[in-house]
Amino acid sequence: MKAIVYTRYGPPEVLQLKEIAKPTPKDDEVLIKVQAVSVNRSDWEGLRGKPLYARIGGLLRPRHQILGSDIAGRVEMAGRNISRYQPGDEVFGDILPRLGGFAEYVCAPENRLALKPARMTFEEAAAIPQSAVIALQGIRDKGQIQPGQKVLINGAGGGAGAVAVQLAKLYGAEVTGVDNTGKLDFMRSLGADHVIDYTQEDFTKNGKQYDLILDIVAHRSVFAYKRALRSDGRYYLAGGSVATMLQILLLGPWISMIANKRIRILAVQPSLEDMVYVTELYEAGKVTSVIDKTYALSEVPEAIGYVGDGHAQGKVVITV
Ligand SMILES: NC(=O)c1ccc[n+]([C@@H]2O[C@H](COP(=O)([O-])OP(=O)(O)OC[C@H]3O[C@@H](n4cnc5c(N)ncnc54)[C@H](OP(=O)(O)O)[C@@H]3O)[C@@H](O)[C@H]2O)c1
């Protein structure tokens, strides 16, 4: 089969289109013929080996030689212990821990997969899993959002951010989206009430405060976030620099004690239930799938570069 392979961390140029052996499913896995796979910032981080958490399990060389986690495709073969799926079923899901989606075939355990709704294209389905679950757990579960609350989403014009803005609006919040100059109109089109261009304004220094901050690209000090939170407010880091994560781990609990503000890391739990819930919102027209561009499998290096360089408005999807 064809796959996009890399053996060392680096720029998109280290990715190569190669002919490799088709994988064989274990007893508790299905073999999927990949139809579409979306690009996440986690692919960019895994490619570069930055931030440092992207090297977990592979300090010097990538642990997995094929990236790609949000897949949609057809079951080609089911392992002996598979009960839920059979050949021909159309499935989708996030296979983040094992990866391998930038390929014509991939193996996945059934507990990572859901049936793709018939009316949804493979591209639409592949655009959902990781971003939807980050957004839902950040906004609804950890954020415990209430109608009328002020919510800020940092990185609101990307994959997870675009879903988070729409969910926050759905739950009745007043939403501020922060991203670069080119994404201001895009964030408004998702429903953001206010937008901030991070190249012009630092949301932690403008005197405004929020009940909830969901940060997709955190790189500030924990004290800057404390300043931007109302009393009783919550801040959750979904992605960002290791320095900021360490600060939050060390100082977050202390800030909760002295200031009645919660500053924590969002440790996203894989959840089929959450993925299916957001998919139902898409089907009901309550959340819109935002696919900026699609690419062919051979164009994965360009596609990952496009996301990594911050051009993507919403999601980028590979049609395999
Ligand atoms: N916590 C967990 O358990 C968990 C699980 C899975 C994934 N993740 C992480 O969650 C993150 C998800 O990212 P994604 O796929 O949504 O990324 P994405 O699509 O690249 O979106 C990130 C957005 O942030 C913007 N941005 C960059 N720097 C910014 C800044 N200083 N201020 C405001 N906006 C900024 C980017 O645009 P520009 O670059 O042009 O500015 C882009 O629009 C990844 O870091 C991933 O590793 C976390």
Note the pLDDT of residue 289: 82
Closest residue by CA, ligand 1 atom 10: 239
What integer is the mean pLDDT of 285-298? 94
pLDDT above 90: percentage of residues in the chain: 96
Pairing of strands 70-78, 90-94: antiparallel
In this predicted model, what pLDDT tens digit does every residue of 43-61 receive, in sequence order?
999 999 999 989 999 999 9
% pLDDT > 70, the chain: 100
Ligand 1 centroid, distance to 171 Cα (angstroms): 22
Inter-residue contact 316 to 37 (CB < 8 Å)? no
Answer whether 320's CB lies under 8 Å from 34's CB: yes
pLDDT score recorded for residue 290: 87
**Pocket around ligand 1 at a 6 A CB cut-off:** 40-42, 45, 130-131, 134, 154-155, 157-161, 178-180, 183, 198, 216-217, 238-239, 266-268, 307, 310, 312
pLDDT at 225: 98
pTM for this prediction: 0.95
Among 38, 43, 179, residue to substitute to test ligand 1 (most atoms within 8 Å of Cβ): 179
| Distance from the alpha carbon of residue 153 to the mean position of ligand 1, in angstroms | 11
Among the atoms of ligand 1, which is closest to the Cα of residue 162? 16
**CA of residue 88 to ligand 1 center, whole Å:** 34
Position 167 pLDDT exceeds 90:
yes
To 5 degrees, how large is the angle CA 84–CA 279–CA 172?
A: 145
Share the mean pLDDT of the chain: 96
pLDDT tens sequence across 190-215 = 999 999 999 999 999 999 999 999 99
